[in-house]
Amino acid sequence: MRVLFTLIVTIISLNSVVVAEAKEVDQDKLDRYLNSLYKNDKAMLSVAVRKEGKLVYSHAVGQRKNDSKSLVNSDTQYRIGSISKTITAALIMQAVEQKKLALDAKLSTFYPNVKNAEQITVKQLLSHRSGLFNFTNDPLYMSYMESPKSKAEILEIIDTYPVNFAPGEKFEYSNTNYVLLGYILEDIYKKTLHEIVQANISKRLELPRTAVGSKIDISKNQADSFYYADGWKPATHTDMSIPHGAGAIVSTAPELTQLLHHLLSGDIVSEASLQQMMKVEQGYGLGLMKYPFGERSAFGHNGGIDGFVSNAAFFPEEDITIAVLSNGVNTNFNGILIGVLSIVFDKPFELPNFAEKSIELSLEQMTELEGSYSSADLPLKLKVFIQDQQLFAQATGQGPFPLTAISPTTFKFERAGIRIEFVSSSDSAKEFVLHQAGKAYRYSLDR
């Protein structure tokens, strides 16, 4: 479903050419949306919006620990997961500007025992083109992720995996790349990554709540993370020695918007370095992703670690920076982002009605809706079919997803923010409207 979402958003961006000026943020609507998500056990969030460098919105909902009395606020620290990669990449580019490192330097200069080290460059690590296996994908990772690991131990773990492809051959996301980049920074500066972040980012930009994380301490206004199973339950606790430069940084939503705004405004690295970071191939640059929202494009990164899920994005044409940090999600996070962005940019967006109750349909009612449907608006066909007494839909080239009935003609797939409403046409042909990302697409039964 993530692929379906991406295809739809990409097509929306191609169909729009005029960028409307962003209006003032509807703070009341955004407050109501976030409050509703928490009240209905859908998500716990901290959201910040910065326009032209000025903080124009900040609101947090949820709990810091397994106690509804310990609530988060806008100064609460969250683990930001892979958004850390953007910071690590910026630090690497600073080192390049200081002539302490070169983008074409070989990994073998620092870690000759890593497979293919004599062929892998620093730039290939930054752009996920090294071919090194992503060590966090190994099933064994779950058995040690909550225990401290030394650099030597992580290097030994990395060495156990075969390479996936020759350096530079293609893009493939791998946390291994950024763990190694974090180690290289420590070797260059003869300091810990924590000290490097403090000196080159936190103190320089006056971000006292942005740092390399350690064990979560609720008394210091740090959030624990959760998963939902008949109530919020504590998630795992990755030891931060393991993700290192790939995902060990903590921050707050307001500070993260400030950091990203400074970076994309050229205040952390030079314009030349920034342009290299923003040169995107297959969706990824050097520590930065580029993704569309309607007619707009943003640079930023997403993150996920334990129960934390996050996204930070900078929209250069509007000079708007948005950070959404969560320590517990029980719905589709992409759907939440769409809601937040829609409100920020004054796009059509109806607040979800969480009071809606699902109903059961008879086999006869579901059979009436089966078929293959096409749209003039999207090049994706949708097949509607019954499997194991459940109605499903499946887009071209994608996996099937279940449709939850709200009425005999209205269905939703909450995790992807999809709503399907069957309608009557003038010639009695079967049709439906697919709602996603604030857009509506009409589908008709193939004849």
Q: 440 Cβ partners below 8 Å, 6+ apart?
A: 433, 434
Strand partners, 289: 284, 300
pLDDT of res. 428: 52
pLDDT digits (tens, 9 = 90+) for 206-216: 999 999 999 99
Q: How far apart are CA 252 and CA 254, in angstroms?
A: 6
Domains (range + CATH), the chain: 18-344 (3.40.710.10), 363-445 (2.40.128.50)
pLDDT in tens, the chain (447 residues): 233 333 333 322 322 222 334 468 999 999 999 999 999 999 999 999 999 999 999 999 999 998 878 999 999 999 999 999 999 999 999 999 999 999 999 999 999 999 999 999 999 999 999 999 999 999 899 999 999 999 999 999 999 999 999 999 999 999 999 999 999 999 999 999 999 999 999 999 999 999 999 999 999 999 999 999 889 999 999 999 999 999 999 999 999 999 999 999 999 999 999 999 999 999 899 999 998 898 899 999 999 999 999 999 999 999 999 999 999 999 889 889 999 999 999 988 888 888 788 899 999 999 999 999 999 988 889 999 999 899 999 998 888 999 999 999 999 887 677 889 998 765 556 899 998 867 889 999 997
Single pTM value for the model? 0.82
Q: CB count, 10 Å around CB of 341? A: 24
Q: 140 Cβ partners below 8 Å, 6+ apart?
A: none
Q: What is the CA radius of gyration of the chain?
A: 23
CA-based nearest residue to 365, from 344, 341, 389, 388: 389
Instruction: Evaluate whether 428 touches 346 at the Cβ level (below 8 Å).
Output: no
Q: CB count, 10 Å around CB of 326? A: 27
As given in the structure block, the two tokens for residue 252 are 């707050």
Give Dmax over CA atoms of the chain in angstroms: 75
Q: CB count, 10 Å around CB of 359? A: 12
Backbone conformation region of residue 194, classed left if phi is above 0, alpha if psi is from -120 to 50, else beta = alpha
pLDDT digits (tens, 9 = 90+) for 173-192: 999 999 999 999 999 999 99
DSSP class per residue in 234-286: E-----TTTTGGGT-EEE-HHHHHHHHHHHHTTSSS-HHHHHHHH--BTTB-S
